[in-house]
Amino acid sequence: VSSTALSSLPPKGLRQVTSLNASSTFALKSLPPLESLAELLVAELTYPSHCCAFHTWRRKQRESALKNFTKFCDLRETEIEPTTDGTNLQYPDINFQYPDLEFDCLNNPFVKCTPKPDAFNPCEDLLGFPFLRCLTWMITVFAVIGNLAVLGILLISHHKLTISKFLICNLAFADLCMGLYLMLIAFMDFHSQQEYYNHATDWQTGPGCGIAGFLTVFASELSVYTLTVISLERWHTITNAMHVNKRLRMHHVTAMMGAGWGFSLLVSLLPLVGVSSYSKVSICLP
């Protein structure tokens, strides 16, 4: 069913399937109950989160089978002490008492599944380490509050808006957008903690990831562009300090920043219209 518009698989009738090829089937965002694919050995899918689901399901099966059983897996019969009549009693076949254990004893392999999860498409946590999670929240708080304060102070000030203040406002807005992007990532990490694979497809193909991707690309482009304009403006002002007529005027800088906004918007909108995609990785980068 690869490269088709198939959006779902039947919940029944797939138990004997051992190989599933559903690569580039982007409409297939959810799979049937994994119990209906119990014999599956090879799966070529579209989303890494589906492979996470298979591995987690098989691991939980094995953990459940061995939870209250500590003997060797290949133990089939156990003798007890002789009875008064000199005979040995034997437990019934262990596989009749523990049918789940037979599944494990037969060394039923994990599903060979692609694409495999990686650092950019994890199974459990969007932000893999507690340190990274704490650092992201700290940067988010400082970026949002700090840049909002800068914008508020500069925009409500009664002093004339100079070229320097105008450029700083643009830089603060770009950094604010980056802070909002980090906030979306941090909230998603908190919401999907320990089970990101259950939310990955909806997140990466939904509007949230599109908004986050737009914000980070727009913020990155506008921030770099604004820093470049600030550097050029300072250079021009210093080298022409003695020539009043050669100084940059507000309308010059406004035109330059207008071009920067247009370029940043264009680049950040391209993945939303089919040029690359923000849904490739969990942190919504093209």
- Which string of DSSP letters, residue by residue, matches 160-192? ---HHHHHHHHHHHHHHHHHHHHHHHHHHHHHT
Q: What is the rounded CA–CA span in Å between residue 97 and residue 214?
A: 56
| Distance from chain centroid for Cα 260 | 29
Residue type, 222: L
Q: How many CB atoms lie within 10 A of CB 178?
A: 21
Which pLDDT belongs to residue 109? 61
The pLDDT of residue 79: 47
Residue 33 CB partners (closer than 8 Å, separation 6+): 11
Q: Could you tell me if 221 and 267 are in contact, meaning their C-beta atoms sit under 8 angstroms apart? A: yes
- Helices 163-191 and 250-269, packing angle to 10 deg: 20
pLDDT of residue 223: 97
The rounded distance, in Å, linking the Cα atoms of 32 and 57 is 13
Residue 7: predicted pLDDT: 86
Taken in order of first residue, the domains within the chain and their CATH numbers are 19-114 (no CATH), 130-273 (1.20.1070.10)
Question: What DSSP state is assigned to residue 42?
Answer: E
Amino acid at 94: I
Nearest-angstrom CA–CA distance, 286 and 279? 7
Neighbours of 253 (CB within 10 A): 20
Strand-by-strand arrangement of the 19-21 sheet = 19-21, 42-44, 112-114
Phi and psi at 79, nearest 5°, equal -95, 150
Give the pLDDT confidence score for residue 103 in this predicted structure.
47
Show pLDDT as tens, one digit a residue, over the chain (286 residues).
888 888 888 888 888 888 999 888 888 888 888 888 878 889 898 888 888 888 777 777 666 666 655 554 555 445 444 555 555 445 445 454 555 444 444 445 678 888 888 888 888 888 888 899 999 999 999 999 999 999 999 988 878 889 999 999 999 999 999 999 999 999 999 998 888 888 888 899 999 999 999 999 999 999 999 999 999 999 988 888 777 777 788 899 999 999 999 999 999 999 999 888 998 899 999 9
| Local structure of residue 35 (DSSP, 8 states) | G
CA-nearest of 228, 230, 208, 220 to 174 is: 220
